[in-house]
């Protein structure tokens, strides 16, 4: 009931309207800035609102002579004494220096690559300018490189505290900060007392701020703790997100009960024909999972089942057996896969298995031309029961496609938004849906995050697979390792080298993927090494990956976020740099990239200088434990104990603020609350309106 809830006086329809306008409606945002923001998963002003700081920077305001330590961040007034002679004629390659008088005494401002005329206009002679920067002592003289000009009213404060936001290349901190402040300005802050829509007792019990207050303080942290996921403001916002997520989950589950579905009674003969086309016999786990799925499919209502298991546990074969049953009953089937690389891989596998059975496998991605799409669609409708379509979410846009599908398998299900799935599920009859997760999901998470969704697990791997030999070493040993790689390469080995994609806002002493690539390329030659990270264009990723799998390049330097499912059976060496930054489950998942063939694979976990005792324990556990389910449980325990690892969530779902591993209790509470209450419409919209077709809210 929009408008009747007091909350609607803060999250008004007008605010919502502005929050979901294109980014270009914001001041000084053009197509280029918008595209840069997309890299941070920001597609609308709303997304800026939920882009929260990871730290604080404190600048001390200095107006009288005082002690300053080099490297301290300060704000101070300064009076320009001198522009260096010949200033305007200086080449831009020589640093330009401006001499000023300040509370620190004489101070030199240094500019590399500045436009002299611009510098001059910013620092006019004999004028006083307020600047922020970090002073250094250079040969007895104080010097500040690239100071920022600040408004003079800052001199009235003792400190200036600025939020540090995650950035991306090409985006300046001040630009992002200003945009976020602008978007916060959409809300009628006079009505902030009306921003609450939760029961007051509930907020009091947890000591939570009101929604509006939480939003404000999340963007105005004073200490580092304010930026942690356990701060009251963050928890409050995380709770809202948990609630919205649970709300949608409830709707999805409802479609499994209220919508009619197909009864695909198991066609044994076709099932056996498919098994005969596979180059292996099923493991008993695979058989059990398939039986569970076939039982669901035989019933007249739609299947909603989750299949989870480690990378390499053989989910693809289960997917194929699922699809076979819909085909046997004259319906088509589709397999949604999150990336182009995985799509191509699945197409190859399915062609091998289904071609002998006279079934056609089509690939449809965002790049497929309109003409091709129409042609494929025509054949789907013409001869139903003999087509499998494999592709990315681009597939789901069209009603006619969806209607021809008897079953939909969603690989790496967490990459697809709930909104998309709602579209898929809400039609009648509703297709059977099998969701697949490439990480084992701990029991407690299953219950709270996935609700009463039925699940099947692949707990053991296909036989003949050896455990990956896992070693733990200090980063100090990296030179020795690089030397040894030379020998391995001569034996024709392929090597994965994983390191972080360090963004500008991170100050940690880690080597990023670009630097490591440069080092290895210098050592082994550019031909032998390639670089892959999530920020690349899909086409580039594809071709780089292809080069590696064909053996044209021998070392693939990559970030951890890329393509978990990729299959390069003859890659047997994996090196993970700064392994202490990842969670157990994530390391285990990365480790699953090697040892997919029959040779003995090796994984080397390198830890940096700052490794804690707990991280060390975690790394050593990996040496002896190879059970993804056990590791996932252990990982969850560690996270709940507040032992926050790195910045990445190990788990299966991407949220904006909520971290399901740490905020599990909030998820449980949200589920309980939902039994009696429905969140008001404008609150739901605020969190869940999709900003792009393939985004939507993350989740099951």
Residue among 203 and 435 whose Cβ is closer to ligand ADP: 435
Contact pick of 265, 282, 298, 644 for ligand ADP (by CB under 6 A): 282
Nearest to Mg ion of 217, 437 (CB atom): 437
Minimum distance of ligand ADP from residue 560's CB (angstroms): 16
* 241 counts as binding ligand ADP under rule CB under 6 A: no
Tell me the C-alpha to C-alpha distance, in Å, between residue 173 and each of 164, 166, 182, 504. 8, 9, 14, 9
Regarding 84 and contact with ligand ADP (CB under 6 A), the answer is no
Edge-first strand listing for the sheet containing 387-391:
360-364, 387-391, 332-336, 405-410, 432-437, 304-309, 454-458
- Residues 384-443 interacting with ligand ADP (rule: CB under 6 A): 438
Residue (596 or 618) nearer to ligand ADP, CB: 596
Q: Which two tokens stand for residue 14?
A: 């007008």
Tell me how far, at minimum, the Cβ of 445 lies from ligand ADP, in Å.
19
User: Rounded to an integer, what distance in angstroms lies between the CA atom of residue 516 and that of residue 461?
Assistant: 33
Each as own residue / partner, the long-range contacts of residues 278-285 (CB below 8 Å, 24 or more positions apart, any chain) are 278/317, 278/320, 278/353, 280/317, 280/462, 282/314, 282/317, 283/314, 283/458, 283/460, 283/461, 283/462, 283/463, 284/460, 285/309, 285/313, 285/314, 285/457, 285/458, 285/459, 285/460
The two three-digit tokens of residue 515, written as one number: 């630097």
The residue among 116 and 565 lying less far from Mg ion, judged by its C-beta, is 565
Helices (H), 552-592: 584-591
652 binds ligand ADP (CB under 6 A): no
Distance between CA atoms of 630 and 460, rounded to whole angstroms? 12
Evaluate whether 219 touches 52 at the Cβ level (below 8 Å).
Answer: yes
Which among ligand ADP, Mg ion, none contacts residue 313 (Cβ within 5 to 8 A by kind)? ligand ADP
Part in contact with Mg ion (CB under 5 A); list of ranges 65-73, 148-156, 541-549, 563-571: 563-571
Tell me how far, at minimum, the Cβ of 549 lies from Mg ion, in Å.
Answer: 15
Question: Per-residue contact track with ligand ADP, 193 to 212, x per CB under 6 A?
Answer: --------------------
Q: How far is the CB of 308 from ligand ADP (least distance, A)?
A: 9
Residue 489: its H or E element: helix 478-490
Chain residue at closest Cβ approach to Mg ion: 565
DSSP state of 409: E
* Site stretch for ligand ADP (CB under 6 A), options 117-125, 206-214, 278-286, 472-480: 278-286
Give 411 or 669: the residue with its C-beta nearer to ligand ADP: 411
Torsion, CA 551, CA 554, CA 560, CA 561, rounded to 10: -40
How far is it, in rounded angstroms, from Cα 99 to Cα 109?
A: 6
Minimum gap (Å) between residue 306 Cβ and ligand ADP: 13
- Please identify, using beta-carbon distances, which residue of 364 and 457 lies nearer to ligand ADP: 457
- Kindly state the smallest distance separating residue 311's Cβ from Mg ion, in Å: 7
Secondary structure of residue 555 in the 3-state scheme = strand
Answer whether the bond into residue 429 is a cis peptide, omega within 30°. yes
Q: 431, 262 in Cβ contact below 8 A?
A: yes
Residues contacting ligand ADP: total by CB under 6 A: 17
Residue 243 Cβ vs ligand ADP, minimum distance, rounded to whole Å: 32
Residue 382 burial (10 A CB sphere; 0-12, 13-18, 19+): exposed
What does 651 bind: ligand ADP, Mg ion, none (CB cut-off 5 to 8 Å by kind)? none
CA distances from 283 to 314, 317, 576, 630 (A): 9, 10, 30, 20
Residue 168 Cβ, how far from ligand ADP at the closest point, in Å? 30
Note whether 588 binds ligand ADP by CB under 6 A.
no
Angle at 616 between CA 612 and CA 622, to 5 degrees: 150
Q: Which of 217, 286, 325, 332 binds ligand ADP (CB under 6 A)?
A: 286
Residues 295-334 that bind Mg ion (CB under 5 A): 315
Q: Which stretch binds ligand ADP (CB under 6 A): 275-283, 335-343, 510-518, 541-549?
A: 275-283
Q: How far is the CB of 461 from ligand ADP (least distance, A)?
A: 8
The two counts, helices (H) then strands (E), for the chain are 24, 22
Which one of 45, 135, 256, 565 is in contact with ligand ADP (CB under 6 A)?
565
Binding partner at 355 among Mg ion, ligand ADP, none, C-beta below 5 to 8 Å by kind: none
Shortest spacing between CB 434 and Mg ion, in angstroms: 12
User: Residue 551 CB: number of other CB atoms within 10 A?
Assistant: 12
Tokens representing residue 142 in the block: 């104080």
Helix, strand, or coil here: 89?
helix
Q: Which is nearer to ligand ADP, 214 or 458 (CB)?
A: 458
Token pair for residue 221? 């942290």
- Minimum separation from the CB atom of position 312 to ligand ADP (A): 5
Judged by CB under 6 A, the residue of 283, 437, 578, 650 near ligand ADP is 283
- Stretch 304-363 residues interacting with ligand ADP (CB under 6 A): 309, 311-317
Q: For residue 175, give the 3-state DSSP assignment.
A: helix
User: How many CB atoms neighbour CB 527 within 10 A?
Assistant: 11
Question: Contacting Mg ion (CB under 5 A), which of 212, 565, 592, 651?
Answer: 565
Q: Which does 286 bind (CB under 5 to 8 A by kind): Mg ion, ligand ADP, none?
A: ligand ADP
Rounded Cα gap, residues 173 and 58, in angstroms: 15
Q: Is 462 in the site for ligand ADP (CB under 6 A)?
A: yes
CB of 438 or CB of 573, closer to ligand ADP: 438
Could you list the residues that contact ligand ADP (CB under 6 A)?
280, 282-283, 286, 309, 311-317, 438, 462, 565, 567, 596
Could you list the residues that contact Mg ion (CB under 5 A)?
315, 565
């Amino acid at each position: 009931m929009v408008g009747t809830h007091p909350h609607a006086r803060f999250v008004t329809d007008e605010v919502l309207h502005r929050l979901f306008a294109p980014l270009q409606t914001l001041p000084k945002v053009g197509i280029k800035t918008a595209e840069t923001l997309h890299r941070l998963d920001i597609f609308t002003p709303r997304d800026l609102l939920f882009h929260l700081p990871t730290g604080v920077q404190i600048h001390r305001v200095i107006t009288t002579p005082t002690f300053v330590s080099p490297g301290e961040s300060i704000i101070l007034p300064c009076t320009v004494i001198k522009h260096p002679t010949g200033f305007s004629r200086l080449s831009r390659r020589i640093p330009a220096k401006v001499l000023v008088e300040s509370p620190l005494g004489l101070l030199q401002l240094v500019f590399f690559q500045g436009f002299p005329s611009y510098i001059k206009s910013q620092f006019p002679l004999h004028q006083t300018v307020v600047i922020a920067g970090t002073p250094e002592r250079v040969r007895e003289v104080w010097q500040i490189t690239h100071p920022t000009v600040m408004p003079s009213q800052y001199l009235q404060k003792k400190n200036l505290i600025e939020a540090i936001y995650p950035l991306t290349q090409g985006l300046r901190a001040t630009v992002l900060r200003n945009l976020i402040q602008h978007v916060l300005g959409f809300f009628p802050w006079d009505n902030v007392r009306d921003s609450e829509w939760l029961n007051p007792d509930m907020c009091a019990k947890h000591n939570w701020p009101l929604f509006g207050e939480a939003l404000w303080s999340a963007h105005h942290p004073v200490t580092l703790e304010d930026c942690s996921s356990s701060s009251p403001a963050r928890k409050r916002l995380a709770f809202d997100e948990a609630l919205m997520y649970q709300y949608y989950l409830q709707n999805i589950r409802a479609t499994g009960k209220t919508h009619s579905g197909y009864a695909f009674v198991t066609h044994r003969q076709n099932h056996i024909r498919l098994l005969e086309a596979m180059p292996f016999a099923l493991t008993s786990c695979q058989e059990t999972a398939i039986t569970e799925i076939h039982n669901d499919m035989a019933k007249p209502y739609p299947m909603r089942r989750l299949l989870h298991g480690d990378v390499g546990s053989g989910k693809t074969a289960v997917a194929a057996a699922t699809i076979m049953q819909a085909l046997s009953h004259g319906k088509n089937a589709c397999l949604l896969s999150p990336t182009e690389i995985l799509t191509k891989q699945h197409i190859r596998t399915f062609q091998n298995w289904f071609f002998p059975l006279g079934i056609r496998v089509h690939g449809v991605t965002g790049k497929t031309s309109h003409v091709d799409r129409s042609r494929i669609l025509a054949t789907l409708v013409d001869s139903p029961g003999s087509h499998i379509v494999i592709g990315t979410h681009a597939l789901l846009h069209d009603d006619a496609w969806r209607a021809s599908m008897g079953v939909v398998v969603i690989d790496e299900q967490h990459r697809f938004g709930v909104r998309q799935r709602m579209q898929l599920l809400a039609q009648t009859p509703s297709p059977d849906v099998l969701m697949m997760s490439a990480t084992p999901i701990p029991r407690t998470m299953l219950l709270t995050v996935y609700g009463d969704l039925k699940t099947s697990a692949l707990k053991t791997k296909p036989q003949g697979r050896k455990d990956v030999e896992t070693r733990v070493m200090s980063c100090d040993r990296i030179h020795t390792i690089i030397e040894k790689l030379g020998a391995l390469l001569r034996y024709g080995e392929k090597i994965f080298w994983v390191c972080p994609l360090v963004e500008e806002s991170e100050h940690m002493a880690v080597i990023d993927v670009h630097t490591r690539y440069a080092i290895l390329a210098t050592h082994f030659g550019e031909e032998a090494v390639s670089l892959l990270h999530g920020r690349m264009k899909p086409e580039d990723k594809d071709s780089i990956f292809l080069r590696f799998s064909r053996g044209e390049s021998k070392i693939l330097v990559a970030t951890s976020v890329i393509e978990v499912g990729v299959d390069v059976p003859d890659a047997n060496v994996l090196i993970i740099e700064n392994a202490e930054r990842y969670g157990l489950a994530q390391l285990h998942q990365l480790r699953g990239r090697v040892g997919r063939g029959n040779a003995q694979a090796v994984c080397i976990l390198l830890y940096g200088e700052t490794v804690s005792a707990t991280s060390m324990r975690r790394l050593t556990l990996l040496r002896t434990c190879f059970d993804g389910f056990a590791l996932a449980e252990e990982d969850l325990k560690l996270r709940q104990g507040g032992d926050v690892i790195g910045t990445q969530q190990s788990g299966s779902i991407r949220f904006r603020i909520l971290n399901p591993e740490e905020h599990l209790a909030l998820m449980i509470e949200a589920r309980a609350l939902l039994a009696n209450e429905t969140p008001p419409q404008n609150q739901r919209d605020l969190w869940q309106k999709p900003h792009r077709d393939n985004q939507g809210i993350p989740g099951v």
